[in-house]
């Protein structure tokens, strides 16, 4: 059985991070994305889910030295479910990237 990460870690909190923190952050490219993916439930259960604020501010705490292995445990694709762009966001001059972002935007609308 797989643990669906976004259902375990609240989407509302992911949207807050993507919009309140990332859209004004140069290091984030003035953009934020909400993603979801599955990992084996037995692997998921090895880690603590820590509350870092109000009742839905829960984070899966994965030690940095385990991130490479964590990534190998992802089942299937990582899905982008929401995308946000801040006022200072500048679209890439890379046409392939622009097409990809526009296609994603259309996909998320439907």
pLDDT value of position 4: 55
pLDDT value of position 45: 93
pLDDT value of position 102: 80
pLDDT band at 97 (very low <50, low <70, confident <90, very high): confident
Judged by DSSP in three states, 22 sits in helix
Please, are residues 48 and 8 in contact by the beta-carbon 8 Å criterion?
A: no
pLDDT value of position 76: 95
pLDDT value of position 109: 77
Domain boundaries, the chain: 2-109
Tell whether the model's pLDDT for residue 34 goes beyond 60.
yes
Residue 109 CA to residue 46 CA, distance in Å, equals 36
Mean pLDDT of the chain: 87
């Amino acid at each position: 059985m797989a643990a669906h990460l976004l259902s375990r870690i609240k989407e509302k909190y992911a949207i807050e991070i993507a919009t309140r923190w990332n859209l004004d952050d140069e290091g984030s490219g003035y953009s934020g994305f909400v993603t979801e993916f599955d990992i084996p439930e037995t692997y998921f259960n090895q880690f603590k889910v820590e509350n870092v604020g109000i009742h839905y501010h829960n984070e899966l705490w994965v030690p940095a030295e385990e991130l490479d292995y964590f990534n190998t445990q992802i089942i299937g694709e990582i899905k982008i479910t929401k995308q946000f762009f801040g006022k200072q966001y500048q679209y890439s001059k890379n046409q392939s990237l622009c097409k990809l972002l526009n296609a994603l935007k259309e996909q998320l609308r439907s």
